[in-house]
Amino acid sequence: MTAARAERHESAVVRRLVDEVMNGRRLGVLDELCTPAMARRWRRWVAPFLASFSDMRMDLVQLVADGDTVVGRFTCSATHTAEWRGHAASGRRFENVDEVYFFGFEDGRIAEAWGIEDTLDRTRQLGLTD
């Protein structure tokens, strides 16, 4: 596979992660997109978040691929419908919270992820912090 083709494939994997897993709530797809260890880690993070924000929507702003790394910029919006980080459901929404993630690939599957989320903006919009 050429480098350009690999980058397109890996970008498509990240798009599927957003569309099918995050927005489609199909956690079983993680087994196709990620290495087994990464799929387990993502489930431990994603499942509780989706349970706390049942209408969560993630939008892809930009993807950049370089070798076996894809960087994605996203925005996330949702309503707080169940307990999250010890806070009872408030019914409040957060809108367009910025997130940036670096995804590392092995054999065409996500093997590592590192990201930054604007949790302060999220908690402020939810009224959980000043």
The residue behind tokens 């670096």 is 102
pLDDT of residue 3: 66
DSSP element (H, E) containing 16: helix 3-16
Q: pTM to 2 decimals? A: 0.91
Q: What is the pLDDT of residues 14-35, one digit of tens each?
A: 999 999 999 999 999 999 999 9
Please report which confidence band the pLDDT of residue 6 belongs to, taking 50, 70 and 90 as the band edges: low
Mean pLDDT of the region 84-110: 96
CATH number of the domain located at residue range(s) 3-125 in this protein: 3.10.450.50
DSSP 88: P
Burial (CB < 10 A; 0-12, 13-18, 19+), residue 15, is middle
> Quick check: 63 pLDDT over 70?
yes
Task: Identify the band that residue 9 occupies on the pLDDT scale cut at 50, 70 and 90.
Answer: confident
Q: What is the mean pLDDT of the chain?
A: 94
Q: What is the pLDDT of residues 30-44, one digit of tens each?
A: 999 999 999 999 999
Mean per-residue pLDDT, 78-98: 96
Q: For the sheet with 69-79, list strands across it.
A: 57-66, 69-79, 93-106, 109-117
